Amino acid sequence: MTLGHEFGAGAACLKCKDKCEGFELHFWRKICRNCKCGLTEHDVPMISEENKKVGKLFEDTKYTGLIAKLKTEGVPGYQGNMVTITLVVPVSKDVPMKTVTYEWAPPVPNKYLAMRYIELLPLEKRPVAGTEGAVYRRQQMACQLPEHDQDPSKCHELTPAEVKQMQQYVRKYKDEALGVGDVLLPEEVAKVQVGKQSVAVAGSCHHCKQPMKMGEPAVYAERAGYEKLWHPACFVCCKCSELLVDMIYFWKKGKMYCGRHYGDSEKPRCAGCDELVFCNEYTQAEGQNWHLKHFCCFDCDCILAGETYVMENDKPVCTPCYMKNYAVKCSSCQNSVEPEAQRVSYGEFHWHAEPDCFKCSGCTKCLIGQRFMAVKNFLFCSVECKKKIMA
């Protein structure tokens, strides 16, 4: 059943095409029940949702510099800064003007600076409407700034104690870490550094250590201090090295993080529901953290604590689902090979490593530990047996 009011419901999956019947939100994983891809993999117009989400992120921040920058018409709310720029230079006779729409551009009064900022980003990451760069930005928006890192109501069944913990956590990053970068010319940044006697002209990029160029846009971040500058393409997360989406950053101990990786540096993240863990009881398995109630089979959601499970594409699945959906078939007895069973594989063929299955197709002699020949799904102990069967 598809609930009409659920955001994105029924949207086609761009990755799975016809294999997905349409987006249907899993009741606690943040993915599609049908194809297990995320919402952004589905064909959903995200712009208004993004603005709501980023607006919430900056709601109620005491950090005044930020609010001033993001505030429009007196409401502390982020407005996606969609910008259409008409290039004055005629491209050809038929197309007298070229217009480019950026799904986001730095909200600076100087249009040239905003445009130049975008030109300095790698081509495939420029947020030009209708290009892969715009898709990249939207996917980074979902990945770097998960709603469930900000809003307890987007989390699955938190206890009142967990809600309180989460609110404290959100308060903390709003007070201490969250910010949005700004774009200026290096020579302008120097002017902002009021009261500093000697101003290092231009200086070098905090990320790549290469010199900043006068006359070219530089990114700076109030939390980091005005003496630190970045090339537009160098304003990246220290963990994932992705461009900080819309220049939204989290600054901690001299390092720039995206929202997701800042969260990961503060709390364990549940590999089942993708939420940060705010309770004391959670489990570690397969090098990841899990809410106890979310260490579940990826296919049927049954709880796996204390059960045997199999890792399939880095996701835990229960033994029955493994047998049904992933297990290989024994070429001899035609049954699925249990996850714990010994098996012999040869090319795309598999056998139980048992005398009943791994045996000569000619004389039924057990071949475990013996020399053998394999022809497709047949096994032979000798040329004679092979001739007998294949002839």
Q: Does 294 help bind Zn ion (rule: CB under 5 A)?
A: yes
Q: Shortest approach of Zn ion to residue 170 CB, angstroms?
A: 18
Q: Which of 15, 98, 111, 172 touches Zn ion (CB under 5 A)?
A: 15
- CA 256-262-264 angle, to 5 degrees, is 140
Q: Does 305 help bind Zn ion (rule: CB under 5 A)?
A: no
Of the pair 202, 297, the CB lying nearest Zn ion is at 297
Of the pair 190, 297, the CB lying nearest Zn ion is at 297
Q: Shortest approach of Zn ion to residue 38 CB, angstroms?
A: 8
Q: Which of 192, 208, 279, 375 touches Zn ion (CB under 5 A)?
A: 208
Backbone φ, ψ for residue 23 (5° rounding): -60, 130
- What does 278-334 look like in DSSP terms, one character per residue? -SS-EEEETTEEEEGGG-B-TTT--B-TTS-EEEETTEEEEHHHIIIIIPPBBTTT-
Q: Per 3-state DSSP, what percentage of the chain is helix, strand, and coil (rounded to 5)?
A: 30, 20, 50
Q: Does 239 help bind Zn ion (rule: CB under 5 A)?
A: yes
Distance CA 212, CA 181 (A): 16
Q: Which of 228, 261, 350, 386 touches Zn ion (CB under 5 A)?
A: 261
Q: Shortest approach of Zn ion to residue 174 CB, angstroms?
A: 18
- Residue 227: how many CB atoms within 10 A of its CB? 14
Longest dimension (CA), the chain: 95
Q: Does 311 help bind Zn ion (rule: CB under 5 A)?
A: no
Q: Does 390 help bind Zn ion (rule: CB under 5 A)?
A: no
Binding residues for Zn ion, how many (CB under 5 A)? 39
Distance CA 51, CA 66 (A): 16
Q: Does 234 help bind Zn ion (rule: CB under 5 A)?
A: yes
Amino acid type, 304 = L
Residues that bind Zn ion (CB under 5 A): 13, 15-16, 20, 32, 34-35, 37, 205, 207-208, 231, 234, 237, 239-240, 258, 261, 270, 272-273, 291, 294, 297, 299-300, 318, 321, 330, 332-333, 352, 357, 360, 362-363, 365, 381, 385
